Amino acid sequence: MSSAKTLDGKGAGEAIRELLRPRIAAFRVASGRSPGLGILLAGNDGGSQIYVRNKVHACEELGIVVDLRRLSEDSTVEQVTSVVNSLNRDESIDAILVQSPLPAGMGAEAEKEVFNVIDPGKDVDGFCAVNVGRLAQNRSTLAPATPSGIIELLDRSKIQIQGAHAVIIGRSDIVGKPMAMLMLHRHATVTICHSRTQDLAMVTSRADILISAVGHPGLVIPKFVKPGSTVIDVGTTRVTDRRQVSAIFGEESPRLEVLDRRGAVVVGDVHPGVASVAGAVTPVPGGVGPLTIAMLLSNTVKAAETRLT
């Protein structure tokens, strides 16, 4: 039986958006225009298409102008950087987002190469080398949206970070590494786990705050979790296998009905059984996702305000 508190990422995201409305209105008065976000979407990745559509809708709902540029699956790094440079020069664009992942044909280093072309003052995701360095030194203006959103959720849920042992599963440049830095800056003791970590359950079961961001459905099971701890699920994997969904959620789960109707369900890294051990958990969907978009909007407004001063 579930006993963990569900952390409301959707509600927190909506609260953040409402705080942005008067700032956007003030920017419009001061500058004579709305804040502008340039988004580059290269390729045909289904998840990226959905994420970009959600981001565009969220921006339009708040009154942020979006300039969406699309490139084909066979586009080159040079073509991508050319678009980024045009957005860098555009005075009506305050923030730039290059949707990840880029097409595999561009090569393993394409994203870093492209991110480093973005003007640091417009780098809404905080992924370029300059902004990563600023984050490491605890003087960032634009920090990655998902880790920033998690900090917001912990604060709004009155979960103490200072002095806590935070364990992060995943070492990506997008979530794992910046998450670790933000937690360190808030005086947590931080452990990062990854595919080479030995006895993962032993390490994670010591965490006061456990954050999983690896895209491995149902990876975090009850034995991974310290009783009463806070578990943050960043995983969002699209699963189409009925047997896999049934194994994680059980044969009576409503998720199976959703799978039958839609052909897929979004599944997090955290097994539902964790709710019987943890003190608080985030749902998937409805947990970290809405906060990621809210912090993207917040960073866009912050970038616009900074350019105005």
Q: How many CA within 13 A on the CB side of residue 142?
A: 30
Q: With the C-alpha atoms ordered 40, 44, 50, 53, is the resulting torsion angle positive or negative?
A: positive
Does the annotation count 99 as an active-site position?
A: yes
Is there a catalytic annotation at residue 10?
no
Catalytic residue (choose from 8, 45, 94, 99): 99
Catalytic residue among 8, 94, 125, 233: 125
> Which one from 8, 55, 94, 177 is the annotated catalytic residue?
55
Q: Is 8 among the catalytic positions?
A: no
The β-bridge relationship of strands 237-239 and 265-267 is antiparallel
Q: Is the peptide bond before 285 cis (omega within 30 degrees of 0)?
A: yes
* Catalytically annotated residues: 55, 99, 125
